[in-house]
Structure 1
Amino acid sequence: MASAGIGRVQAIEALTRKSLWLASWMVHHANHIRPNIDGVKVGGHQASSASMAAMLSTLYFGVLRPEDRIAVKPHAAPAFHAIQYLLGRQTRQKLVDFRAFGGAQSYPSRTKDTDDVDFSTGSVGLGVAFSAFASLVQDYVRAKDWGGKDRSEGRMIALAGDAELDEGNIYECLLEGWKHGLRNCWWIIDYNRQSLDGVVREGLYDRIESVFKAFGWKVVTLKYGALQRAAFAEPGGDRLKAWIDACPNAVYSALMFRGGAAWRERLSDEIGDQGEVSALLSRRSDDELAALMANLGGHCVASLLDQFENADSEQPTVFINYTVKGWGTPLAGHKDNHAGQMTSAQIEQLREAHGIREGHEWEPFEGLEQPETLQAFLDKVPFNTKSSRRLTSPAVPTIGPQFIGTGPTSTQAAFGRILDAIAKTDSEMARRIVTTSPDVTVSTNLGAWVNRRNLFASKEMVDIFQKEAIPSTQKWRFTPEGQHLELGIAEMNLMLMLGAAGLSHSLFGERLLPIGTLYDPFISRGLDALNYACYQDARFLLVGTPSGVSLAGEGGAHQSIASPLIGMSQDGLASFEPAFADELSVIMDWAFDYMQRSGDARPDLADWPRDVTGGSVYLRLSTRTIDQVPRDAKALPINDIIRGGYWLKPPTPECDVVIAYQGVLAIEAIEAAGRIGGDRRNVAVLAVTSADRLNAGWQAAQRGHLHGDQTTVSHIENLLSEVPRGAGIVTAIDAHPATLGWLGSVLGHRTIALGVEHFGQTGTVHDLYRHFGLDAETIVAAASRSGSRRS
């Protein structure tokens, strides 16, 4: 595609220069021109944006289609925002306010930015791996008999710095992609050979290439630009090429910073012969020689277009594009340029080079020739669709709570039975559920679901054990109709898969209801990716089980302590820890609806619970079997269960003490209440199903009071208002005591918080509960200290 009077390559080159200037000016303006009231460094990444300017421009202005999805290198955010501005998808004011409140974000953000961000980036490496899981989810969706099959397949693309490849989650992802037949995935490496703190080690390229080839990726290397290839064809050019190939990274970077005269001196000393090579050098001025040596493949639009347009989508492909960090700026090549910024003198030098008049710094075509022709070119760019690239999918109707009876059970076992009951239905909800687990499918009670709904694979695979007539409780049939994605033992991969599946409605126009299970203590191993998935507003149900020191025989490494606090503090994640199967049934039914909500309220400002905007849900479950409360499902306090708590035994005006428990400590709490009642002291029992929901509701009420709304009363305030002020509270949880310890602050009741603060060990549940002071006897003793002392 070209416009009259300007070729396609020339148009992209001009827009590359413009995006480079805008990105550089954006950072300079934020740090040196815009008033800085608090004096804290604003920051930005001029050099990292510069090294990727040509690649980003070639993609957005020449290669990408609307259905492609892109994760941009976080440190190239200024260049990305500049390109979106040129495409008309970002406002000038957002650029002016870069890194200010309400302005373009420091790193591309799907939820905080208003321009066209597909995948948030920021915690380096996660956006790269996320693109691979998004591709796997796209294949999953297209394998189903759903109406969205007619949509064009998009390429899932990640642009990454070479230093990002130090992140371990990238290599965990490579293995998973190999196992699942990854396709339609491009990773584009900005190989500038510099990291945050210096220049990368020699030989990195060979390691990168060998790793990707080992996992079945096609490796495309673009080292030389068109200018360099033309010079290599001249007499003596072979010696110049050999010198470039042998030049250490640090030397090349240093010479880039020093400029044309330094290049001439070094090349003349090392390969100049007063013959062909000397003639090659002498035909070029210092500026032309500097431009030649800077013309690596990652900065050459013609070369980039050629490599991208000839790439195949069936095989995952990594493009290793040689670049110079800080290309096209006075910072080029300097080892301190990552967080460094151009001085006022250097930005003026860049201004002069780009022909930018003072006061016209933000103009889209300032300093460029044929602005009308360039605008016409932009209007016809394939990626520049006028419609939203964020798709929609209608909410799936829920089918109501699935109650499984009142026999003794654990919440983990109840979860499996509830899911199996859903699997038996011929409902749209059952068809839209997709489960996944990091090699703990059976031990987290997904086995019945998988046997009924099968494992997913793009092609049918025979269950060899079944074919050989070997008895097995697991019918491991792989089929395109399957609804379980089996992962290896890597919790980061689990969270990234949940994040990708949880955005399927927006990315691919088809609603999924993802459920991921893992051992509860290992949530911490995937916490960065969990936070990342929530930051993108992905929707999923995360099930952590088994949990706590009630997993007594497994020892401290398998006994979670802090996970309820993670559930409380993680934005975008509503966490629950029910004790009984009927509570779990109610919560799961609510969760499938909550995961699909999409109200207009801003998630960062909405009052909690986020019943307008929705979010993801985390269930903390246990393997400990407990007797169920015999009660009619119709009489369940459903709203209170969802809001976080209800009275299992309500207080009376003579109440001395409240025992508030969460999860499996229901057994000890009920036993302790019985003992205290036998002592003729009035005791109430508060069943907390979600400390997270209770606390968030209370916090929202306090914010309302601060803003003048004195009528707002939270659920926990209503509950505790029934308790005499002189009564005490004993809280008990198989986790950190701070989870419930705040209850005394609500209305000022004296509180003793029981829980686990140290690593557990092996033993029986009775041994460990007595050791940690969670047994009924300790609860009774605490109640006697916290309760009122009436004569």
Structure 2
Amino acid sequence: MAIEGIGRIEAIEALTRKSLWLASWMVHHANHIRPNIDGVKVGGHQASSASMAAMLSTLYFGVLKPEDRVAVKPHAAPVFHAIQYLMGRQIREKLIDFRAFGGAQSYPSRTKDTDDVDFSTGSVGLGVAFSAFASLVQDYVRAKDWAGKERPEGRMIALAGDAELDEGNIYECLLEGWKHGLRNCWWIIDYNRQSLDGVVREGLYDRIEAVFKAFGWKVVTLKYGALQRAAFAEAGGEHLKAWIDACPNALYSALMFRGGAAWRERLSDEIGDQGAVSALLARRSDDELAALMANLGGHCVESLLDQFEAAGNDEPTVFIAYTVKGWGTPLAGHKDNHAGQMTGAQIEQLRSAHRIREGHEWDRFEGQDKPDALAAFLAAVPFNTAQSRRLTSPAVPTIGPQFIGTGPTSTQAAFGRILDAIAKTDSEMARRIVTTSPDVTVSTNLGAWVNRRNLFASQEMADLFQKEAIPSTQKWRFTPEGQHLELGIAEMNLFLMLGAAGLSHSLFGERLLPIGTLYDPFISRGLDALNYACYQDARFLLVATPSGVSLAGEGGAHQSIASPLIGMSQDGLASFEPAFADELSVIIDWAFDYMQRSGDARPDLADWPRDVTGGSVYLRLSTRMLEQVPREMDETLSADIIRGAYWLNPPTPQCEVVIAYQGVLASEAIAAAARIGGDRRNVAVLAVTSADRLNAGWQAAQRGRLHGDRTAGSHVENLLSQIPHSASIITAIDAHPATLGWLGSVQGHRTVALGVEHFGQTGTVRDLYSHFGIDAETIVAAAGHLMAR
């Protein structure tokens, strides 16, 4: 890219300095100039941004194409926002309000920032692994006979600090990537040899290199910049190189902080010989010597460009770029610089070095010698396209609920049969579904789907058991047309894969309907990645089964207690726990619509704003078989199931007690109601399909009334207004009782909340229900106690 008046490297170096200044000033302004009304620390990461300034600038201004996707190191957010501002993708006001309400976010967010964020970052390590799963999803999309096949392949790129490599999910991801033949993925390690609180251990580089090579990655080391390589070619340069290679991390950082005179003293003492090495040092001033020693590979635009452009094939590549934390600032190298900020005197020192006039701190080309040439260079940067890099894909029409009969069944078994029924339709919806599971495909009832739809692999692989005529219920073939992504047992990988697949419409222009299954208790194991996927606004269906102590024989380690509360509290996730197969059919049909919404709501179900924008869905299912309720599904019942509850046995004006259950305890609630009703008491039974949806609607109504809308109401208020105030409520769930215990607060009814508060154990279902007090007998006893008051 030739621009009159300025060379490519010169331009990127100038923009690197400009990004460094803007990032540093952004944090300083937020902490020391903008009024701080509440006195709470604002924070920011001047040093962590500085160490990545050259790498990010070289990527965005020199290497990236519009189809590439980037996960930025969380603590480099200020320099990322600065780069976006220079390209015209961010406005000045957002930088001025960095870390303030409505301003640029502390960590890059694809949902909250207005600049061009591909992947949200913040929880360290997750953005790194997410890029690999995005690459696998790109391969999946391109293997199908869809329009996305014709789009250019993008590289999925993550920039990470070396301290992020302490996160275990990165290594789980490496193993999964190796299994699936990962392609088009770059990880760029900011090897500044400092963590949040100190300096990393010696010898870390060798361990990092060995791990990546073991998983088939190409390893590119960027240790020396062009200035250093030129110095090594001088007489005595080999001694300087040997000294740098042997220098401990802590000492190198300390000398960086102390500056040129300290470098000269140390080098003269240890390798100076009044000959070639001394002459090499003497030819440089203190400032020039400091610049030479700071010219590590990760700060050298020329070296970065050479290595990035040389890595031209689709082989997964990790670049280990040596850097100095705080590079180019007075904080460079100090072990306390992670959370530290420049003082007023230090920011003035930086201002002088960058030639920034008072009142011109935010000007795009302030302090630059060739502003017009830089503007022309930026306009020609390949990545700086005027078109939106966020793609779109039309919603896939749903095919309606798939009802599967009325015989005794569990919701887990019903899920498998519903999915099998969808597979038989060969509809566009069926073609867009992709399933995945952490090594529990069969035990979560995905087997029939996989038998019909096969497993995905980039190349055909025969089922050797079938080929050898060995009988098996799993007739599984790996093929590019397959629609199941087989994962290892790591739940973090499951949620990262669901997140990447759930953004396929935006990243790759092709709609996917991802379904992930796992055991309900192990949601907690991958909760950070689940939260991260929802924060990205990824769209998927999470099916968690088996759940609760109803999985009696497996014991406490495989029994869940808190997962319904996770479903209620997790933003971006609508949570359901149906009891019956027809409820599940309605919910799954609704879920496929909800997952695809982007602003146009179904007016009959838009009880609160989230229904307009859509989101992901979580189903908590059980292995316990229940007798099904003989009934015809109509529009009213379907709507109530989605809103969160309906009357299985409606109240009369004489109602004395309401039994409200969620999920598999339907059997206990129905049995208890029959026994209490046998005493000629009036008992109503409330079938709760979603405590999450009920509670969300109630909260929305209360907020509406608080803001002056006197007509605001909610589904749960309408339901409970039908029972006398003197009636009592008993809630029952195979999970923490707080899930439903709030129902008494809606209209002020006396309430007893039954549930499971402690780790489970082995036994029969009857044993455990009795032990935890969630059986019919306990419900009857609670009703007798309430009615006797």
Same fold (TM over 0.5): yes
Shift of 1:784: 1.6
What residue number does 1:309 align with?
Answer: 309
Shift of 1:636: 6.5
What residue number does 1:748 align with?
Answer: 748
Shift of 1:608: 3.1
Q: Deviations over 1:628-656 (max 9, x none)?
A: 00112347700000000000000000000
Structure 2 counterparts to residues 296-695 of structure 1, below 5 A: 296-599=296-599, 608=608, 610-634=610-634, 637-695=637-695
Query: Does the alignment pair 1:196 with 2:191?
Result: no
Q: Contact (CA 8 Å) 1:169, 1:493: kept in 2 or not?
A: yes
What residue number does 2:270 align with?
Answer: 270
Letter in 1 for 2:232: F
Secondary structure of 2:740's aligned partner:
helix
Q: Deviations over 1:55-97 (max 9, x none)?
A: 0000000000000000000000000000000000000000000
Q: Distance in 2 between matches of 1:101 and 1:265?
A: 48
Query: Does the alignment pair 1:785 with 2:776?
Result: no
Q: Deviations over 1:533-582 (max 9, x none)?
A: 00000000000000000000000000000000000000000000000000
Shift of 1:150: 1.1
Letter in 2 for 1:682: N
Letter in 2 for 1:561: I
Q: Contact (CA 8 Å) 1:42, 1:99: kept in 2 or not?
A: yes
Q: Distance in 2 between matches of 1:463 and 1:443?
A: 20
What residue number does 2:246 align with?
Answer: 246
Q: Contact (CA 8 Å) 1:727, 1:788: kept in 2 or not?
A: no
What's the C-alpha RMSD, in Å, of the aligned pairs? Answer: 0.9
Q: Contact (CA 8 Å) 2:57, 2:83: kept in 1 or not?
A: yes
Q: Distance in 2 between matches of 1:155 and 1:501?
A: 16
Q: Which runs of 5+ in 2 are unaligned?
A: none
Q: Contact (CA 8 Å) 1:185, 1:313: kept in 2 or not?
A: no
Shift of 1:468: 0.4
Shift of 1:314: 2.0
Deviates most, 628-637 or 36-45: 628-637
Distance 1:764 1:224, change over 3 A: same
Q: Deviations over 1:719-770 (max 9, x none)?
A: 0010000000000000000000000000000000000000000000000000
Secondary structure of 1:637's aligned partner:
helix
What residue number does 2:739 align with?
Answer: 739
Letter in 2 for 1:590: W
Structure 2 counterparts to residues 125-136 of structure 1, below 5 A: 125-136=125-136
Distance 1:157 1:478, change over 3 A: same
What residue number does 1:231 align with?
Answer: 231
Secondary structure of 1:231's aligned partner:
helix
What residue number does 1:283 align with?
Answer: 283
Q: Deviations over 1:301-344 (max 9, x none)?
A: 01000000010332100000000000000000000000000000
Shift of 1:788: 7.2
Q: Contact (CA 8 Å) 1:155, 1:313: kept in 2 or not?
A: no
Distance 1:548 1:39, change over 3 A: same
Q: Distance in 2 between matches of 1:454 and 1:403?
A: 24
Letter in 1 for 2:655: C
Q: Deviations over 1:477-526 (max 9, x none)?
A: 00000000010000000000000000000000000000000000000000
Structure 2 counterparts to residues 177-188 of structure 1, below 5 A: 177-188=177-188
Shift of 1:609: 5.8
Letter in 2 for 1:736: H
Q: Distance in 2 between matches of 1:609 and 1:405?
A: 35
Q: Contact (CA 8 Å) 2:412, 2:545: kept in 1 or not?
A: yes
Q: Distance in 2 between matches of 1:634 and 1:170?
A: 48
Letter in 1 for 2:547: S
Q: Contact (CA 8 Å) 1:548, 1:560: kept in 2 or not?
A: yes
Letter in 2 for 1:644: G
Q: Contact (CA 8 Å) 2:607, 2:714: kept in 1 or not?
A: no
Q: Distance in 2 between matches of 1:632 and 1:657?
A: 27
Letter in 1 for 2:215: F
Q: Distance in 2 between matches of 1:306 and 1:150?
A: 29
Q: Contact (CA 8 Å) 1:726, 1:787: kept in 2 or not?
A: no
What residue number does 1:218 align with?
Answer: 218
Letter in 1 for 2:155: R
Structure 2 counterparts to residues 18-167 of structure 1, below 5 A: 18-167=18-167
Q: Contact (CA 8 Å) 1:157, 1:188: kept in 2 or not?
A: yes
Deviates most, 645-654 or 776-785: 776-785
Secondary structure of 1:633's aligned partner:
coil
Q: Distance in 1 between matches of 2:14 and 2:393?
A: 39
Q: Which runs of 5+ in 1 are unaligned?
A: none
Q: Distance in 1 between matches of 2:456 and 2:227?
A: 49
Secondary structure of 1:177's aligned partner:
helix
Letter in 2 for 1:514: P
Q: Distance in 1 between matches of 2:635 and 2:254?
A: 76
Letter in 1 for 2:546: P
Shift of 1:287: 0.2
Secondary structure of 1:612's aligned partner:
helix
Shift of 1:713: 0.8
Shift of 1:171: 0.1
Letter in 2 for 1:556: G
Letter in 2 for 1:388: S
Distance 1:647 1:54, change over 3 A: same
Shift of 1:607: 7.0
Q: Contact (CA 8 Å) 1:609, 1:693: kept in 2 or not?
A: no
Q: Distance in 2 between matches of 1:493 and 1:204?
A: 25
Q: Contact (CA 8 Å) 1:657, 1:788: kept in 2 or not?
A: no
Q: Distance in 1 between matches of 2:612 and 2:676?
A: 42
Q: Contact (CA 8 Å) 2:659, 2:729: kept in 1 or not?
A: yes
Q: Distance in 1 between matches of 2:154 and 2:394?
A: 21
Letter in 2 for 1:304: L
Letter in 1 for 2:401: P
Q: Distance in 1 between matches of 2:464 and 2:25?
A: 62
Q: Deviations over 1:118-151 (max 9, x none)?
A: 0000000000000000000000000000112110
Shift of 1:247: 0.2
Shift of 1:2: 2.6
Q: Distance in 1 between matches of 2:337 and 2:636?
A: 62
Q: Which runs of 4+ in 1 moved over 4 A?
A: none
Identity %: 89
Distance 1:613 1:550, change over 3 A: same
Q: Distance in 2 between matches of 1:100 and 1:148?
A: 39
Letter in 2 for 1:60: Y
Q: Distance in 2 between matches of 1:169 and 1:261?
A: 43
Q: Distance in 1 between matches of 2:632 and 2:442?
A: 31
Q: Distance in 1 between matches of 2:649 and 2:312?
A: 65
Q: Deviations over 1:658-702 (max 9, x none)?
A: 000000000000000000000000000000000000000000000
Q: Deviations over 1:424-469 (max 9, x none)?
A: 0020000000000000000000000000000000000011001101
Q: Contact (CA 8 Å) 2:398, 2:592: kept in 1 or not?
A: yes
Q: Distance in 2 between matches of 1:224 and 1:182?
A: 29
Q: Distance in 1 between matches of 2:93 and 2:609?
A: 33
Q: Contact (CA 8 Å) 2:22, 2:361: kept in 1 or not?
A: yes
Secondary structure of 1:304's aligned partner:
helix
Number of aligned residue pairs: 785
